[in-house]
Amino acid sequence: MRELELLSHIYRSNPKLPPGVTIPPGDDMGAVSIGGVSVLVTVDQLADGVHFDIAYTSIEKIGRKAITRNLSDVAAMAARPVGAVAAACLPRGFGEANAKALFDAMHATANSYDCPLIGGDISVWDQKLILTVTVFAESDGVEPVLRSGATVGDTVYVTGQLGGSLTTIENPMGYTHHLDFTPRIGLARVLASNTDTRPHAMIDLSDGLGLDLTRVCEQSGVCARINTGQLPISPAAGIAARTSGRPAWQHAMSDGEDYELCFTASASLPRQIDGVSITPIGTIIEQQAGPRVLIKLPDGTRVDTADLGWEHTG
């Protein structure tokens, strides 16, 4: 079951959203107008066995990631976080010391982004640990960047390096970027606040570049052509490739939890901001039948992406 399908269902079944909804469901954050001010909101869950494995992850890193996952959504809108609430369902026997360590880590991370925790809900059950964090944000003078603005001729960019982010049970000592990443809030606001550099569309990479860029293309009514030779492939993707036997570029295109930004812009952008690389990886093209995201190898060969796991073509 795909998150997108269910979110689409929510969206489709709410055709008469009240006028106060300034950004409807389906973007990195939704927004409602409260007292004339647009308030952006996002929610993300972090579940043991799905988004981390408690056997291999410290309590502190779990708490940190519960906050930073949401802040990556805030970055994708070029918004400024203002506050958060956190809910936790703790496994029986988790212990009060662990619970305090968990909330201390969430709290410290949230505070470091000027995003104080202002409430919570805690339950205990006989199932695994799950954390749900909601972050709200304001535009604060920078118009939010939506997924729907990609325009034919735009260049497609990504920040940082891609692939091999996820620690897996098969690779317990492996790649920890999914725990240690830095939400690209500052970079996004710098780009979006300047008319010369403002992205037309933006998303954060949580489910893999192929799938997330597909979402941007769907919502913008366009397609994208990516040149794998331009992808900023992380060293971790190279390691993953040796294990999987698949080329490293496939890990960069398909692996989830990069928490980098992917955006499109007509401008020629700086190659880095504050030490974070910005890499052009392809071009937005006219909508056409078939997959939304087309792949070309450096030698010009086109790749059939049907089996690369980015469902939802067409």
Closer by beta carbon to a copy of itself, 2 or else 302: 2
Per-residue interface string for the shown chain with a copy of itself, residues 138-177, x marking contact by CB under 8 A: x-x-------------------------------------
Instruction: For residue 174, give both structure tokens.
Output: 């492996």
Torsion over CA: 202, 203, 204, 208 (sign): negative
3-state DSSP call for residue 271?
coil
Binder among 54, 89, 276, 285 for a copy of itself (CB under 8 A): 89
Residue 272 amino acid letter = Q
Shortest distance in whole angstroms from residue 195 CB to a copy of itself: 22
Min dist CB 30 to a copy of itself, Å, is 3
Q: Rule CB under 8 A: is residue 297 a binding residue for a copy of itself?
A: no
Give the C-alpha separation, 76 to 184, whole Å: 8
Residue 60 exposure: Cα atoms within 13 Å on the Cβ side: 2
Q: For a copy of itself, give the closer residue by CB, 122 or 152.
A: 122
Q: Can you spell out the DSSP letters for 152-211?
A: TTPEEEEES-BS-----SSSTTS--HHHH----HHHHHHHHTSTTT--SEEEE-SS-HHH
Interface with a copy of itself in residues 14-53 (CB under 8 A): 14, 17-18, 20-21, 23-25, 29-32, 34-37, 39, 41-45, 47, 49-51
Closest to 189 in 3D by CA, of 302, 113, 290: 113
Query: Which residues lie near a copy of itself (CB under 8 A)?
Result: 1, 3, 5-7, 9-10, 13-14, 17-18, 20-21, 23-25, 29-32, 34-37, 39, 41-45, 47, 49-51, 82-83, 85-87, 89-90, 94, 96, 99-100, 103-104, 107, 111, 114, 116-128, 130, 132, 134, 136, 138, 140
